[in-house]
Amino acid sequence: MNKLFFASCFCLFFGGAVTNVRSQQKPIEAMHIYLLMGQSNMAGRGEVTDYYAKQGHPRVMTLGQTGEWVPAKHPLHFDKPKVVGVGPGLAFGTAMADAYPDAVIGLVPCAVGGTSIAKWAPGAYDESTNTHPYDDAVTRITKAMAAGIIKGVIWHQGEGDSNPASASVYLEKLEMLVGRVRTLVGNPTLPFVVGQLARYRKSYQLINEELTNLPDAVPCTAVVSSEGLWHLGDGTHFDSPSASELGRRFADGMLTLQQLAEAPSPTAADPEGWEQLLGGNDPNIRWRSIRGDRFPDEGWQAADGILTVLPGRKGGDIITREQFSDFELVFDFMLSDSANTGLKYFVAPLKTAKGKSVLNGPEYQLIDDFKHESVIDGKSPETSTGSLYLLFAPEDKVLHRPGMWNQAKIIAQGDQVEHWLNGRCILRYNRTSDIFRERVGQTKFNDYQEGYGEAKSGHILLQDHGDRASFRNLRIRRLP
C-alpha cells in the first residue's frame, strides 16, 4: 500500500482527525507498525463490556482479517471468534500514539490461542485452529510493510510450554524466532518486548525463569512484568483490566528500547570512543535494575551528573543494558563513612550447583578501608578497596578518605585485567590462569557450574549494599 492510498483510507476512517491534522499542516507519514504475536493472552480473552467496546484512538489502526486497515477496537484478534476479547494490543497502541503525537500507529494482530512456541516456526501447522501461525504471520507482516515501517514486536506466549521439557529449550526457540522476524523485516535490532506469564499459576514460572535471561542472550529485547495481574476466573487468561495494564507495560518496554536505540553514537561525539554511562540525569537509558527492565523507582538518585545509591537498600543492584567485552572503564567514586559497595564487570548468567541461574562477575571492591570493621587496620586486604573481591589484594594504593572523590579505572583486554586507583595500577591478573581458577575454587564462587569471571562479555553492575555511595564521570570505551 503506498502512502497516497493510506492517506485516502485514513480520510475515510477519520475524516475529522485528518481535517485537524491538515489545519496544522502536519503531513501524514508512513505508519509506525507493531506486530502482536503469541497465544491467547496476546489475542485477548477479557470481557468486552461497554466500557471496553467504546475504547479506541483516532491514530491507532489495525490490519483486519481481510487485510484492510480499520480503526482499532476490541477485539483486535480473530484467532477464535467465539472467545476472543480484550487483550493488551489496544492499550499498547494507545500508549504508543500518546508517546508519538505525530504518528499513526498500525497494529498487526498475529496471535493464535493455544499454540506452543514450536508452532511459531516455518511450516508448522496448528490443528485446533487450522492455521500455520508463523507462515500466516509472515503473510500479514509482508502486507503491513507496504503501509509503513515495522517499529517493534510485542510477544506473549509460553503457557503452552510450561512444563520442564519445553521450558528447557524455550529461550533457544524464542531467540530463533526473534532472529527470523528481524530478518523478515530487514532490521537486525528490531525492538522485541516480551511479557511475563501470569504469576497466579505455579507452572508458568518455569517460563518466567527462562525469560529473565532473554535481555542478556538477545540484544534489543526487554521483558515486562506481570506482577499484580489477575485472571478472569479461569486461572489462565487475564481479565480485561489486567490485559490493558499489560499493554501499557509493553509500551513502556518498547519506548525504553527505542530510546536506547536512538541514543547518539558515542564515537561521533568523542573521537576517542568514550561512551558516557550516565549522560544527563536519566539513568534508565543505560541502566536497569538487576531484577527488572527499568531503572529502580527508589533507592538510587541521579542529579547533576552524579549517581548515588541511597541508604536503606531499597533500589537493589543495577546493571548496564549493554554488555562489553574488551574495554577501558573509568569512574569517580565517593563513599560515606563505613560504606561497602562495589562495581562488577563481565557480569553474565551463571548456574549454581543447584541449577539456579544468577548474574555475577568479578568485582572491583569499594569499601571504607579506614572505618569498616571487616578491613580496618589492614585486615582482609583481598576485600579492601581496589581488590578483586575475595581473590587478589591491591598493592601500592593511595585511597582518599570517605567524603572525598577517588578515581578508579579497569582495563580488560582478552583475559588480562588491570585495576587502577588514583593514577596507579594496583592489581593485574589473568582471569583464565591457573592461579585465578585455584583461588576461585577456594571461595564461594566455586559453587558455579561455569567458570566464574570467564565470560567473553558481560554487563557492568553497581551494587546496593544499603550504604550511601556516589559515582560520577562513568565512561567506557571499547578496545580493539
Looking at 215, 245, 261, the residue that finishes a domain is 261
453: CATH:
2.60.120.560
Task: Mark whether 220 and 278 lie in a shared domain.
Answer: no
425 shares a domain with 438: yes
pLDDT for res 265: 46
The pLDDT score that the predictor gives to residue 7 is: 30
Residue type at position 310: L
CATH number (domain holding residue 27): 3.40.50.1110
Total of domains in the chain:
2
d(CA 57, CA 53): 12
Same domain as 271, residue 252: no
Residues 14 and 42 in one domain: yes
The answer on 308 and 231 residing in a single domain is: no
* 103 and 240 belong to one structural domain: yes
Domain identity same for 204 and 315: no
Whether residue 110 sits in one domain with residue 143: yes
Contacts of 18 (CB under 8 A, 6+ apart): 7, 10, 11, 28
Amino acid 29: pLDDT: 53
Dist CA 303 CA 321 (whole Å): 20
**Residues in the chain with pLDDT < 50?**
1-28, 265-269
**SS3 per-residue string spanning the chain:** CCHHHHHHHHHHHCHHHHHHHHHCCCCCCCEEEEEEEECHHHHCCECCCHHHHCCCCCCEEEECCCCCEEECCCCCCCCCCCCCCECCHHHHHHHHHHHCCCCCEEEEECCCCCCCHHHCCCCCCECCCCECHHHHHHHHHHHHHCCEEEEEEEEECCHHHCCHHHHHCHHHHHHHHHHHHHHHHCCCCCCEEEECCCCCCHHHHHHHHHHCCHHHHCCCEEEECCCCCCECCCCCCECHHHHHHHHHHHHHHHHHHHHHHCCCCHHHHCCCCCEECCCCCCHHHCEEECCCCCCCCCCEEEECCEEEECCCCCCCCEEECCCECCEEEEEEEEECCCCEEEEEEEEEEEEECCCCEEEECCEEEEECCCCCCCCHHHCCHHHCCCCECCCECCCCCCCCCCCCCEEEEEEEECCEEEEEECCEEEEEEECCCHHHHHHHCCCHHHHECCCCCCCCCEEEEECCCCCCEEEEEEEEEECC
Do 292 and 225 have their domain in common? Answer: no
Predicted confidence at residue 23, as pLDDT, reads: 29
Strand duo 406-413 + 424-430: pairing: unpaired
Spatial CA neighbour of 409 closest among 345, 465, 467: 345
386 & 416 share domain? yes
Residue with cell 485446533: 128
Residues 207 and 273 in one domain: no
The Cα 300–Cα 462 span in angstroms is 11
- Which residues have C-beta within 8 Å of that of residue 270, sequence separation ≥ 6? none
Whether residue 282 is found in the same domain as residue 224: no
Identify the pLDDT of residue 9.
32
Nearest-angstrom CA–CA distance, 469 and 80 = 55
Among residues 198, 230, 261, the one where a domain terminates is 261
Q: In which domain, by residue range, is 89 found?
A: 3-261
Task: Point out the domain boundary residue: 227, 261, 295.
Answer: 261
d(CA 383, CA 84): 58
Please tell me the pTM assigned to this model: 0.57
Ramachandran region of residue 466, left (φ > 0), alpha (ψ -120 to 50) or beta?
Answer: left
pLDDT digits (tens, 9 = 90+) for 462-473: 999 999 999 999
Instruction: Output the pLDDT for position 5.
Output: 28
